[in-house]
């Protein structure tokens, strides 16, 4: 007989895990959850300061979602959306998503995950340009440190070396442009607006150099999540959209993390004045209780698809479980809870306290930069605050902080650029926010002590 720990090491191949380190340290086995808390198999209670993977918006014990799933399982556990088939939950969900989406969005295509949503969005951008008789317009512009998923096309857009190295990615035509991150990359004394202008000018130069007639779309997370919670400087998206418009390039907003209240509004697009041609969403769409994603497109794109299918026969893409009725029923109930409980309003009212507690960490000797919007944020750890000098990569300083936080009852995440990321369930209250940042402070003090010769 294996213990669970032994069986995990022997049989499970873990994503985004150093495989040999896993053999030594073994798994963190999570047993159960309630509200914003989870318990490991040793009985330790942890605040889930990352909502799992930026997704469990309503925490871990929302009975309405359990009931919605049970009801739909009993009525119809499976159907699909191929060849004119549909179900009530998939229809109702599509309607609700389109109605809450930014102006211009008219149709919803249901998938199972963020990566699938992004892959589908890329295919749609290609299909659109083929429909318009512009087959050369295929390259996608993404940004360094972007995270758009791991499948062959989506993983090609992700701008993180550890997602691409060893997997022969990128495998589709992509250009990675600069990351908007003022703390690291703005010139000394450069205003947000001036920095945004510089980034938009640079984007335009790269478009002209490649040829606008080769570029299909620009893809961006409104706030970059897995790349380290990078919040765009003022004016950035306004200036970028003007460039894209001039060159007839589609805007794909990857709302997989920002969607459904994370930044204080329904969409990151609402927070940053983005008018997307295509939107991808997943994660908080079902509060993560079941896998589901959605791709939302404008009527203009849909009309082009529709005419093209008259020529090609069918819109030849889709997945067996796209629009799965149980996932759709749970997503629909999630959206109802967001509305009934004014969850996005709650995010707006908790955000100032969250931001205050993050900003207070600026006084800590290890913290070079703090940033947040809504209920997502990060601190960036440095060896020297004045010169912004980083710790040696081998120190894995953010990983040290992440592990120290766990000892103080908190799950947070080490992100690229020595960032420690926070993305708690949207139902977190002020007292729990305090507990969370008290634990972060204790963890940073532990790390400071352990690395005291380096600072």
Interface residues with ligand PMP (CB under 6 A) are 53, 113-115, 118, 147-149, 221, 225-226, 254, 256-257, 282
Strand 139-143 and strand 174-177: pairing?
parallel
Q: Is 367 or 411 the residue whose CB approaches ligand PMP more closely?
A: 411
Min separation Cβ 29 and ligand PMP, Å: 21
CB of 292 to ligand PMP, least distance (A): 10
SS3 153: helix
Task: List, as one string, the DSSP characters of 173-235.
Answer: -EEEE----HHHHSPTT--HHHHHHHHHHHHHHHHHHH-GGGEEEEEE-SSB-TTT-BPPPTT
By beta-carbon proximity to ligand PMP, the closer residue of 56 and 367 is 56
DSSP readout, 15-81? TTS-HHHHHHH----EEEEETTEEEETT--EEEETTHHHHT-TTTT--HHHHHHHHHHHHH-S----
Instruction: Kindly list the distances between the CA atom of residue 342 and the CA atoms of 266, 282, 336, in Å, as whole numbers in the listed order.
Output: 11, 20, 10
In the bound state, the residue with its beta carbon closest to ligand PMP is 114
CB of 227 to ligand PMP, least distance (A): 9
Q: What is the dihedral of CA 401, 405, 408, 409, to 10 degrees?
A: -170
Are 42 and 321 in contact, with CB atoms under 8 Å apart? no
Least Cβ distance, residue 347 to ligand PMP (angstroms): 18
SS3 427: coil
Query: Shortest gap between Cβ of 254 and ligand PMP (angstroms)?
Result: 4
Looking at the Cβ atoms of 111 and 439, the one nearer to ligand PMP is 111
Non-local (6+) Cβ contacts of 133 within 8 A are none
Paired strand residues for 415: 419
- Residue 149 to residues 176, 180, 195, 282, 453, Cα–Cα distance (Å): 15, 19, 28, 11, 38
Minimum Å distance from CB 282 to ligand PMP? 5
- Residue 282 or residue 411: which is nearer to ligand PMP going by CB? 282
Work out how close the CB of 112 gets to ligand PMP at its nearest, in angstroms, rounded to a whole number: 8
Q: State in angstroms the smallest separation of the CB of 307 from ligand PMP.
A: 30
E strand or H helix at 305: helix 299-312
Q: Are 134 and 327 in contact (CB under 8 A)?
A: no
Question: Residue 280 Cβ, how far from ligand PMP at the closest point, in Å?
Answer: 7
Task: Return the number of the residue (118 or 186) whose C-beta is nearest ligand PMP.
Answer: 118
Strands (E), 112-173: 139-143
- Quick one: 122 or 257, whose CB is closer to ligand PMP? 257
Q: Which is nearer to ligand PMP, 149 or 322 (CB)?
A: 149
User: Quick one: 223 or 379, whose CB is closer to ligand PMP?
Assistant: 223
Minimal distance in Å, beta carbon 219 to ligand PMP? 9
What is the dihedral sign for C-alpha 174, 177, 181, 183? positive
What is each CA distance from 402 to 25, 69, 287, 309, in whole angstroms?
Answer: 15, 34, 24, 50
Nearer Cβ to ligand PMP (155/368): 155
Q: Distance between the two ends of the chain, CA-based, in angstroms?
A: 48
The pair of structure tokens assigned to 378 is 């990060």
Q: Which of 232, 178, 182 is nearest to 206 (CA)?
A: 178
Q: Pick the closer one to ligand PMP by CB: 51 or 113.
A: 113
Pick the closer one to ligand PMP by CB: 53 or 194. 53
Kindly state the smallest distance separating residue 116's Cβ from ligand PMP, in Å. Answer: 7
């Amino acid at each position: 007989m294996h213990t669970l720990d032994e069986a995990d090491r022997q049989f499970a191949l873990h994503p985004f895990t150093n495989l040999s380190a896993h053999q030594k340290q073994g798994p963190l086995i999570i047993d159960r959850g309630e509200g914003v808390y989870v318990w490991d198999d040793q009985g330790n209670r942890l605040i889930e300061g990352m909502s799992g993977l930026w997704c469990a918006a309503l925490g871990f014990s929302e009975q309405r979602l359990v009931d919605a799933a049970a009801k739909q399982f009993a009525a119809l556990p499976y159907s699909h959306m191929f060849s004119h088939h549909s179900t009530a939950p998939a229809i109702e969900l599509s309607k609700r998503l389109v109605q809450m989406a930014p102006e211009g969005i008219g149709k919803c295509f249901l998938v199972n995950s963020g990566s699938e949503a992004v892959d589908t969005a890329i295919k749609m951008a290609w299909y659109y340009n083929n429909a318009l008789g512009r087959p050369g317009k295929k390259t996608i512009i993404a940004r360094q440190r972007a995270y758009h998923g791991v499948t062959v096309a989506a993983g090609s857009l992700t701008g993180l070396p550890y997602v691409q190295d060893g997997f022969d990615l990128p495998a589709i035509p992509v250009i990675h442009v600069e990351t908007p991150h003022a703390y690291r990359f703005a010139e000394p004394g450069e205003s947000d607006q001036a920095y945004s202008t510089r980034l938009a000018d640079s984007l335009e130069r790269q478009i002209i150099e490649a040829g606008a007639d080769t570029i299909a779309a620009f893809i961006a997370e409104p706030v970059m999540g897995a790349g380290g919670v990078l919040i765009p400087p003022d004016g950035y998206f306004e200036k970028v959209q003007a460039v894209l418009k001039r060159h007839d390039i589609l805007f794909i907003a990857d709302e997989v993390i920002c969607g459904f209240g994370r930044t204080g509004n329904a969409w990151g697009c609402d927070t940053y004045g983005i008018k997307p041609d295509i939107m991808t969403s997943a994660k908080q769409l079902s509060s993560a209780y079941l896998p589901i994603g959605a791709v939302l497109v404008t009527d203009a794109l849909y009309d082009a698809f529709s005419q093209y299918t008259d020529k090609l026969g069918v819109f030849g893409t889709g997945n067996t479980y796209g629009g799965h009725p149980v996932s759709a029923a749970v997503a629909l109930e999630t959206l109802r809870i967001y509305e009934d409980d004014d969850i996005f309003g709650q995010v707006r009212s908790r955000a100032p306290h969250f931001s205050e507690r993050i900003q207070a960490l600026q006084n800590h000797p290890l913290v070079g930069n703090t940033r947040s919007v809504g209920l997502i944020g990060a601190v960036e750890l440095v060896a020297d605050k004045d010169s912004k000098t980083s710790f040696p990569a081998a120190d894995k300083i953010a990983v040290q902080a992440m592990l120290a936080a766990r000892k103080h009852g908190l799950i947070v995440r080490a992100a690229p650029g020595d960032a420690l990321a926070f993305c708690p369930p949207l139902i977190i209250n002020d007292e729990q926010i305090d507990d969370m940042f008290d634990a972060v402070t204790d963890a940073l003090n532990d790390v400071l002590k352990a690395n005291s010769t380096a600072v």
